[in-house]
Chain A
Amino acid sequence: MSKTVDLNQEGVQVKKSACYFCHQNCGVLAYVKDNKVLAIEGDPEFPTNQGGLCSRGNSALQHLDHPDRINYPLKRVGQRGEGKWQRIPWQQAIDEIAARLSDIKGQFGAEAVATAGGTQRTDDWARRRFMNLFGSPNGFHNAHLCWIPTFMVETAIYGWCPFDLDLGNSRCLVLWGQNPGASGMPEMHHIVELQQKGLKVIVIDPRYTETASKADLWLPLRPGSDLALALAWLHVIIYSGLFDQEYVDTYCEGFEALADHVADFSPEWAAPLTWLTPDQIRDSAVMYATNKPGNIQWGTSVDQIGRPAGATMHARALLRALTGNLDVPGGDLLTGPSREFITDEEMEANDSLPEEQKAKQIGSDRFKMVTWPGYGRIAELSKAFWGKAPTAEWMCEAHPPSVFRAILSEKPYPVKALLVSATNPISSYGETNLVMEALRKVDFMITSDYWMTPTAALSDYVIPAAGALERPTITSSYGCADFLLASQRAIQPMYERRNDYNFWRDLGVALGQQEHWPWETVEDAYFHKIEGLGSGTENYDQFVENVRFHFPEREYSKFKERGFATPSGKVELYSTVLEGLGYPPLPEYVGPTENEIDHPELAEKYPLVLTTGGGFMPFHHSEHFQIKSLRYLRHEPYMDINPATAASLSIKDGDWVWIETARGRIRQKANLTNGIDPRVVFTQRGWWYPERDMRDPVLGGCTESNANVLTTTADKDCDPFSGAWANRGLLCRVYKADQSDDKEVR
Chain B
Amino acid sequence: MTRYAMVMDTRRCIGCQSCTVACKIHNELPLDIIYNPVTTIGPTGTFPDLTLSFLPLICMHCDNPPCVDTCPTTASVQREDGIVYVVDSKCVGCLSCIMACPYGARQHNHETGTVSKCDFCKDRLEQGKLPHCVATCHQKARIFGDLHDPDSEVSKLVKNNRTVQLLGELNTDPSVFYIY
Q: Is A740 an interface residue (CB 8 A)?
A: no
In the complex, are the beta carbons of A617 and B17 less than 8 A apart? yes
In the complex, are the beta carbons of B135 and A674 less than 8 A apart? no
Q: Is A3 an interface residue (CB 8 A)?
A: yes
Q: Is A41 an interface residue (CB 8 A)?
A: yes
Least Cβ distance of B109 to chain A in Å?
14
In the complex, are the beta carbons of A52 and B137 less than 8 A apart? yes
In the complex, are the beta carbons of A185 and B138 less than 8 A apart? yes
Q: Is B87 an interface residue (CB 8 A)?
A: no
Q: For B28, give its contact among A4, A55, A185 (CB under 8 Å).
A: A4
The interface stretch among B43-51, B95-103, B156-164 is B43-51
C-alpha gap A539/B50 in the complex (Å):
54
Give the number of residue pairs across the A-B interface with Cβ within 8 Å: 125
C-alpha gap A629/B27 in the complex (Å):
12
Least Cβ distance of B56 to chain A in Å?
13
In the complex, are the beta carbons of A189 and B138 less than 8 A apart? yes
In the complex, are the beta carbons of B25 and A213 less than 8 A apart? no
Least Cβ distance of A419 to chain B in Å?
34
In the complex, are the beta carbons of B48 and A185 less than 8 A apart? no
The interface stretch among B8-16, B65-73, B168-176 is B8-16
In the complex, are the beta carbons of A181 and B42 less than 8 A apart? no
Least Cβ distance of B15 to chain A in Å?
6
In the complex, are the beta carbons of B52 and A213 less than 8 A apart? yes
In the complex, are the beta carbons of A52 and B136 less than 8 A apart? yes
Q: For A2, give its contact among B18, B28, B127 (CB under 8 Å).
A: B28
In the complex, which residue of chain B has the Cβ closest to the Cβ of A210?
B14
Using an 8 Å CB-CB cutoff, how does the interface string of B112-146 with A read, 1 for contact, 0 for none? 00000000000110010100000111111000000
User: Which residues, 367 to 423 on A, are CB-close (under 8 Å) to B?
Assistant: none
Chain B residues lying within 8 Å of A59, measured Cβ to Cβ, are 21, 25
Instruction: For chain B, give the interface size range.
Output: 35 or more
Least Cβ distance of B39 to chain A in Å?
12
Least Cβ distance of B65 to chain A in Å?
23
Chain B residues lying within 8 Å of A58, measured Cβ to Cβ, are 18, 21-22, 25-26, 136
Given A3-B123, A182-B16, A673-B43, the answer on whether A630 and B28 have CB atoms closer than 8 Å is: no
In the complex, are the beta carbons of A629 and B48 less than 8 A apart? no
Chain A residues lying within 8 Å of B64, measured Cβ to Cβ, are none
Q: Is B31 an interface residue (CB 8 A)?
A: yes
C-alpha gap A453/B140 in the complex (Å):
35
In the complex, are the beta carbons of B17 and A186 less than 8 A apart? no
Least Cβ distance of A195 to chain B in Å?
9
In the complex, are the beta carbons of B12 and A210 less than 8 A apart? no
Q: For A188, give its contact among B14, B26, B43, B124 (CB under 8 Å).
A: B14
Using an 8 Å CB-CB cutoff, how does the interface string of A646-685 with B read, 1 for contact, 0 for none? 0000000000000000000000000001111110000000
In the complex, which residue of chain A has the Cβ closest to the Cβ of B130?
A51
C-alpha gap A57/B42 in the complex (Å):
27
In the complex, which residue of chain B has the Cβ closest to the Cβ of A631?
B31
Most buried by B among A58, A208, A633, A675: A58
Chain B residues lying within 8 Å of A49, measured Cβ to Cβ, are 138
Least Cβ distance of B131 to chain A in Å?
11
User: Which residues, 159 to 200 on A, are CB-close (under 8 Å) to B?
Assistant: 181-182, 185-186, 188-189, 192
Chain A residues lying within 8 Å of B151, measured Cβ to Cβ, are none
Q: Is A22 an interface residue (CB 8 A)?
A: no
Chain A residues lying within 8 Å of B124, measured Cβ to Cβ, are 1
Least Cβ distance of A218 to chain B in Å?
7
User: Which residues, 1 to 43 on B, are CB-close (under 8 Å) to A?
Assistant: 11-12, 14-18, 20-22, 24-28, 31-32, 42-43
Q: Is B107 an interface residue (CB 8 A)?
A: no
In the complex, which residue of chain B has the Cβ closest to the Cβ of A4?
B28
Using an 8 Å CB-CB cutoff, how does the interface string of A1-35 with B read, 1 for contact, 0 for none? 11110000000000000000000000000000000
C-alpha gap A55/B22 in the complex (Å):
6
Chain B residues lying within 8 Å of A61, measured Cβ to Cβ, are 25
Least Cβ distance of A653 to chain B in Å?
13
Chain B residues lying within 8 Å of A62, measured Cβ to Cβ, are 25
In the complex, which residue of chain A has the Cβ closest to the Cβ of B124?
A1
In the complex, are the beta carbons of A208 and B52 less than 8 A apart? yes
Q: Is A323 an interface residue (CB 8 A)?
A: no
In the complex, which residue of chain A has the Cβ closest to the Cβ of B54?
A210
Q: For A629, give its contact among B11, B24, B54, B127 (CB under 8 Å).
A: B24
Given A52-B18, A55-B16, A629-B24, the answer on whether A674 and B42 have CB atoms closer than 8 Å is: yes
C-alpha gap A182/B32 in the complex (Å):
24
Chain B residues lying within 8 Å of A675, measured Cβ to Cβ, are 42-43, 47, 50, 52
C-alpha gap A279/B9 in the complex (Å):
33
Q: Is A632 an interface residue (CB 8 A)?
A: yes
Q: Is A602 an interface residue (CB 8 A)?
A: no
Q: For B16, give its contact among A54, A192, A212, A213 (CB under 8 Å).
A: A54
Q: Is B165 an interface residue (CB 8 A)?
A: no
Q: Is B155 an interface residue (CB 8 A)?
A: no
Least Cβ distance of A645 to chain B in Å?
11
Chain B residues lying within 8 Å of A57, measured Cβ to Cβ, are 18
User: Which residues, 186 to 233 on A, are CB-close (under 8 Å) to B?
Assistant: 186, 188-189, 192, 208, 210-214, 218, 220
In the complex, are the beta carbons of A53 and B42 less than 8 A apart? no
C-alpha gap A61/B26 in the complex (Å):
10
In the complex, are the beta carbons of B43 and A213 less than 8 A apart? yes
Ordered by A's residue number, 30 sampled pairs between the chains whose C-beta atoms are within 8 Å are: A3-B26, A3-B28, A39-B26, A42-B135, A52-B136, A52-B139, A53-B136, A53-B138, A54-B138, A55-B17, A58-B136, A59-B21, A182-B14, A185-B18, A189-B138, A189-B139, A208-B43, A208-B48, A210-B15, A210-B52, A210-B54, A213-B43, A214-B11, A220-B47, A617-B16, A632-B31, A633-B20, A674-B44, A674-B46, A675-B52
Q: Could you list which residues of chain A lie within 8 angstroms of chain B, going by C-beta atoms?
A: 1-4, 39, 41-42, 49, 51-55, 57-59, 61-62, 181-182, 185-186, 188-189, 192, 208, 210-214, 218, 220, 617-618, 628-630, 632-633, 642, 673-678
Supplied contacts A2-B28, A41-B135, A42-B136, 7 more A-B pairs, CB within 8 Å: A53-B18, A53-B136, A58-B18, A58-B22, A630-B21, A632-B31, A633-B21
